[in-house]
Amino acid sequence: MTDWLAYLLPWEFSLPIWLVIGSALLLYLRGLRRLPSPGCGRVVCFITGLLAMLVVTQTYFDYLAQYMFFIHRGQHLVLHHLAPFLIALAAPAPVLAAGLPERWRPRLSRLWRSTLIQIPYRVLQAPVIASLLFVGLIYFWLMPEVHFEAMLSRPRYELMNWSMAVDGLLFWWIIFDRRAPGAPGWVSPGWRIAMLIGVMFPQIFLGAYIALHDQVMFDVYEVCGRAWPLSPITDQQLGGLLTWMPPAMMSALGVLLVLRTLLQGDQAARLRPARSVGKVAG
C-alpha cells in the first residue's frame, strides 16, 4: 500500500498547479450547489479533465515523462488534447461563475470586459491564430534543440507544460462554445470544423515523421537515461504514434460533436415556428 501511495505523490510538487486545479474544482462544486445541475455527463467531463491534468503533472507519471519520450508525448496528449477537450465539452463557465463569492463577481466581470483582457483574448481566439498556435506549439516544443533545453531545465519544462495546457483550453473552448450565435467572439460551426481539419493534418505529418524516422531525434533521453530498458528507436516510434493517431482521432470526434450541435440547433429552429403556429391556432 505504501509503495502504491508513492506513485500517487508528486514527483516535483508544484503549488501553482495545485492552486489552479484546486480552485477550479472548489468553484465548480460551489456553483453546482447554487445552479440546477448541468447534467451528470458534463460534471463527469469537467472533473475527469481536471484530475487527468493533475495525474500527468503531480504524480510519478511526471517522473516517467522526463525519462521516456513516449510517456512525455502521452503527458502532452492529456495536457493539450484530452483534458482540455473534456473541460471545454463540459461548458463549465456558468457553474464556475456561480461558484464565485458574490462580492467578487462585479469586479471580475469588469476586469473580464476590460480592453486589457478582451483585446489579447480576441486575438488569440481568432480562428486562424488559434489554429496556428495549437499546431505551432507542438512543433516548437518538439524541435530537437528546443526539446533538449526544455527537458534539462525545470523552469523551461514547466513553461512547456503550462503553455500546452493553456493553449489546449483556449482552442477547445472555441470548438465547444455553447453560446448563442452573435455573442462576442462567437465562431460559426463551419469555422470550427475548418479549424479541426486544419490542425489534424500537420499533427499527422509530424507524428508520422517522428515514428518513421530511422535516426534518434531526441537524444536528451540518452543523456539523462531512460526509466525503462526500451530501445531509443522504439521509444521514439511509440512517441510518434501518440503524436500521430490519438490527436487525429480527437479532431475527427470534435468534428462529429460540432455537427451534432449544428443539427440539433437546426432541428430546434424548425420546431419553434411549428410551436408558435400551434399556440396561435389554440
Other CB atoms within a 10 A radius of the CB of residue 28 amount to 19
Q: Note whether residue 173 is domain-resident.
A: yes
Rg, C-alpha atoms of the chain: 21
Q: Note whether residue 122 is domain-resident.
A: yes
First and final CA of the chain: distance in angstroms? Answer: 68
The tens place of each residue's pLDDT in the chain, 282 residues long, gives: 567 778 888 999 999 999 999 999 999 999 999 999 899 999 999 999 999 999 999 999 999 999 999 999 999 999 999 999 999 999 999 999 999 999 999 999 999 999 999 999 999 999 999 999 999 999 999 999 999 999 999 999 999 999 999 999 999 999 999 988 888 889 999 999 999 999 999 999 999 999 999 999 999 998 888 999 999 999 999 999 999 999 999 999 999 999 998 887 655 555 555 454 445 445
**Would you mind telling me the total number of residues written for the chain in this entry?**
282
- Number of Cα atoms under 13 Å in the Cβ half of residue 143: 10
Q: How many domains does the chain have?
A: 1
Q: Note whether residue 168 is domain-resident.
A: yes
Q: Note whether residue 194 is domain-resident.
A: yes
pTM of the model: 0.91
Q: Note whether residue 32 is domain-resident.
A: yes
Q: Note whether residue 150 is domain-resident.
A: yes
- SS (HEC) of the chain: CHHHHHHHCCCCCCHHHHHHHHHHHHHHHHHHHHCCCCCHHHHHHHHHHHHHHHHHHCCHHHHHHHHCHHHHHHHHHHHHHHHHHHHHHCCCHHHHHHHCCCCCHHHHHHHHHCHHHHHHHHHHCCHHHHHHHHHHHHHHHCCHHHHHHHHHCHHHHHHHHHHHHHHHHHHHHHHCCCCCCCCCCCCCHHHHHHHHHHHHHHHHHHHHHHHHCCCCCCCHHHHHCCCCCCCHHHHHHHHHHHHHHHHHHHHHHHHHHHHHHHHHHHHHHHHHHHHHHHHHHC
Supply the range of the domain harboring residue 29.
Answer: 2-273
Q: Note whether residue 279 is domain-resident.
A: no
